[in-house]
Chains A and B, each alone.
Chain A
């Protein structure tokens, strides 16, 4: 089994799906040359007809994916940075999310939206923001985010094969994260969470770079708190069953999410836990999120964004 970086794993997923299915293609801006390495080498194998660069025109670029998906193609549209999807967000969220359902659930829209997201590069807002919560807010769109190279490949393949719009942001902080990635054709099903660490005192729900932080804090606190760590992997559909099963054991929940506090996905999960698992709780749910500030750049994001110290403080608070 090969040890690959997360972007290499995404690259494998693209190459395998492009080979497997002629209707699959990639569209973006400078994905032939590559701003990020995840599309490197693809144009050489599949040609510019299937690795499509557009002008710097997000609406037109997204239109290629949207229209081609209606025509039965399986596009992957790459916004480069997640914040850039907001340039054509009306189409990418509202029009995309409503297409299948509003028109009588008769005609699928199989497309994948992907982009690099997240803090850690000191790039500030549009280049550092998360998009999963905002997309998850719009019905009709699936949203998942890989935390490991293994998941990156399997999740991207699942998304490409799904008959619905699927948003797969990947975190820049994991770009060079290495992990075992099988050569096989496997998928990571959308909607299944992964229990990454068993524990009995408190459950941490964390994804992507924050999952890495959560696991580090859990290891650090070993002996003091027995921390269970769950990677939701998928936000829509969300694996509520795995979370509630965990809470039946721990009765305490900390949600770590690199989205904003207000209206973020953590708020949704917190509300659902209250609605569906109220009697399981022995303490109020605590969220560790981005404060309601545009993501600052420079050295500020290190302490503004969720980080191990904040996660540890939250664990202590919820276990008090």
Chain B
């Protein structure tokens, strides 16, 4: 499936925004202006942008935890200011400041992020079941990393999705690392997507640094699902430039990754690759690119202003107790 220029511009723009927001989060963490922790998404933003940029509002999305889902959510049209407000404990946060670094945007069908890696597999079956039952062409974009496929729940979801031919895209963002463990140690085959074969599910392996290749695969899988043809496994081979989460050492196994190694990874930065291509193919000129960066900087500023000017959420215990159950 070939992308048109409009689609490429959308993808490029979201890539720029994701890059700026990732840097915003990293900086804020260094400045002590984020609660909890941050899992930087440097080098790994292309798959998320591609997976979410062409979803409808009523499609389900479970974002990968890297970058705290910001890449995926902004691409789906979610205003990240409510997320930053949440991550800074403000009353304007998407969860009223209760969830720390988690999120919920039910109206966009981004329901949650759990602390359990692989939490999304089982609910995806329910979302897929509901989509199929409604028969309105909705799809489920299930994004998660290679590490999450260690969960037995992944098997159950692949099994049931194929069994019932549910409209689910198992979108594996394989960066080759689960915290500090290399995939070669934790997974027996070269490709995580080889799992799909056992369930009789179609699968693709793509270059996760190429946002356009990722998008072509995602769009194909989405269309397949919308037509009621069942699930697809998409494996985007990506990478991780920075540490697993800020404040923990950047290790491979138990030894530090070398600077040379990380420098090599940076050569494969998805924004660098995409810029070369949009310029080469005349999708965007340099001044348009510059403008996108300016817009992204302004967006970051607005997001930060909104969060920083909001009040810290401090409801009383009584108010919280009254909010424990739905009326």
Interface size on B, as a range, is 35 or more
Taking the nearest CB of chain B, how far is it from the CB of A250, in angstroms? 29
Contact A57 B156, CB 8 Å, known A103-B95, A104-B104, A107-B106: yes
Bound-complex Cα distance A139 to B119 (A): 19
Check: B71 CB closer than 8 A to any chain A CB.
Answer: no
Chain B 243-282 residues near chain A, CB threshold 8 A: none
Chain A 174-203 residues near chain B, CB threshold 8 A: none
Taking the nearest CB of chain B, how far is it from the CB of A97, in angstroms? 9
Give chain A residues whose Cβ lies under 8 Å from the Cβ of B128.
Answer: 67
Q: Do A66 and B122 have beta carbons less than 8 Å apart?
A: yes
Q: Do B122 and A67 have beta carbons less than 8 Å apart?
A: yes
Give chain A residues whose Cβ lies under 8 Å from the Cβ of B320.
Answer: 101
Bound-complex Cα distance A292 to B325 (A): 32
Chain B 87-116 residues near chain A, CB threshold 8 A: 93-96, 98-99, 102-104, 106, 111-112, 114, 116
Check: B121 CB closer than 8 A to any chain A CB.
Answer: yes
Give chain B residues whose Cβ lies under 8 Å from the Cβ of A101.
Answer: 98, 320, 323-324
Give chain B residues whose Cβ lies under 8 Å from the Cβ of A102.
Answer: 95, 98-99, 102
User: Which residue of the partner chain, among A54, A57, A105, contacts B326 with CB atoms under 8 Å?
Assistant: A105
Q: Do B123 and A103 have beta carbons less than 8 Å apart?
A: no
Q: Which residues of B contact A (CB under 8 A)?
A: 93-96, 98-99, 102-104, 106, 111-112, 114, 116, 119, 121-131, 133, 152-153, 155-157, 159-160, 163, 320, 323-327
A273-284 interface mask toward B, CB cutoff 8 Å, 1 = contact, 0 = none?
Answer: 000000000000
Could you show 15 A-B contacts with beta carbons less than 8 Å apart?
A63-B126, A66-B122, A67-B124, A70-B111, A70-B127, A71-B126, A95-B114, A100-B326, A102-B95, A102-B102, A103-B99, A104-B96, A107-B104, A107-B106, A164-B325
Bound-complex Cα distance A123 to B274 (A): 63
Q: Closest 6 interchain pairs by CB?
A: A67-B126, A63-B122, A60-B156, A103-B104, A71-B130, A104-B95
Interface size on A, as a range, is 35 or more
Give chain A residues whose Cβ lies under 8 Å from the Cβ of B96.
Answer: 104-105
Q: Do B94 and A107 have beta carbons less than 8 Å apart?
A: no
Given contacts A57-B156, A60-B125, A105-B326, 18 further A-B contacts (CB under 8 A): A55-B159, A55-B160, A57-B155, A59-B122, A60-B160, A63-B122, A64-B126, A64-B160, A67-B130, A70-B106, A70-B123, A99-B111, A104-B95, A104-B104, A108-B326, A140-B325, A142-B325, A163-B327
